[in-house]
């Protein structure tokens, strides 16, 4: 994990020297834990893109009144970059948080690491599609005050629309 973070930081330092374009997007993200909806800010480079997203789990938040936020960072390497479309493999790191409170707060954390691909089509306004698979964990304090970890296979299927700011 540390190697991946260092690699991403190294890439970001190199790439921030390039000319910067930004896209904002609205996304729907179907995953194992919920149907997430949210927005992203993408830093568009010639070869690499960085994407920061904020989501909320629709079922838990809107149908169960329990805010279920998820923060996502994606790093894309464009293997195909034409004027109207692009294709890039991606690596993504997410963390979601759900408070399963009983008589007291009980935070369940859901860290995830995923690999997949991203497709974009459009110019000023366009559509995005991302699919990824990876490993999802759940971490929380048990009734005996021990930290419990559980892990499983996970997936994300994402569609959205973007707007190029500059």
Partner 1 sequence: MRLISGVIFFLFLLISCSKKQDYSKVQLFGHAGMGLSIENSFYHDNSLESIELALSINGCDGVEVDVQMSLDKSLWLYHDPNLETQTDFTGCISSKTDKELENVRYKTFSKEKLIKLNELDFNILKNKTIILDLKNFNYCTSKELDKNDFINALKQLPFVMDSSIKVKIILKEALWLESFIDNEFDILYEANSLEKWNTIIDVYPSIKGLIIKTSKISKSEVQNIHLSNKEVFLFEMRSPNTIREALIKNPDGIISDDLRGAVLEKY
Q: Across-strand partners of 102?
A: none
From 3-11, 53-61, 111-119, 158-166, span contacting partner 1 (CB under 8 A): 53-61
62 belongs to the binding site for partner 1 (CB under 8 A): yes
Q: Which is nearer to partner 1, 43 or 56 (CB)?
A: 56
Answer whether 147's CB lies under 8 Å from 6's CB.
no
DSSP assignments along 113-161, one per residue: EEEEEEEEEESSEEEEEEEEEEEEEEEEE-TTS-EEEEEEEEEEEEEEE
Encode burial over 75-114: b for 16+ CB neighbours within 10 A, e otherwise. Answer: bbebeeeeeeebebebbbbbebebeeeeeeeeebebbbbb
Q: Which is nearer to partner 1, 91 or 136 (CB)?
A: 136
From 14-22, 62-70, 72-80, 84-92, span contacting partner 1 (CB under 8 A): 62-70
Of 67, 77, 125, 165, the one binding partner 1 (CB under 8 A) is: 67
Q: Which is nearer to partner 1, 16 or 67 (CB)?
A: 67
34 belongs to the binding site for partner 1 (CB under 8 A): yes
The CA-based angle 151-91-34, given to 5 degrees, is 50
Q: How many residues bind partner 1 (CB under 8 A)?
A: 33
CA atoms within 13 A on the CB side of 136: 18
Q: Which is nearer to partner 1, 128 or 136 (CB)?
A: 136
Residues 79-108 that bind partner 1 (CB under 8 A): 98, 100-103, 106, 108
Query: Where does this chain bind partner 1 (CB under 8 A)?
Result: 32-34, 56, 59-67, 98, 100-103, 106, 108, 136, 138, 140-144, 146, 148, 150-153
């Amino acid at each position: 994990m540390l190697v991946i973070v260092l690699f991403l930081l190294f890439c970001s330092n190199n790439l921030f020297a390039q000319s910067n374009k930004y896209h904002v997007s609205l996304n729907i993200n179907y995953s194992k834990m919920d149907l997430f909806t949210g927005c992203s800010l993408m830093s568009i480079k010639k070869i690499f893109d960085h994407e920061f997203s904020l989501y909320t789990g629709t079922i838990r938040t809107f149908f169960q009144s329990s805010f279920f936020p998820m923060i996502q960072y994606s790093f894309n390497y464009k293997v195909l970059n034409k004027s109207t479309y692009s294709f890039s493999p991606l690596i993504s790191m997410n963390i979601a948080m759900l408070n399963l409170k009983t008589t007291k707060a009980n935070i369940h954390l859901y860290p995830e690491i995923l690999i997949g691909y991203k497709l974009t089509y459009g110019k000023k306004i366009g559509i995005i599609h991302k699919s990824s698979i990876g490993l999802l964990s759940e971490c929380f304090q048990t009734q005996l005050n021990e930290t419990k970890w559980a892990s499983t296979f996970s997936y994300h299927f994402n569609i959205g629309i973007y707007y190029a700011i500059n």
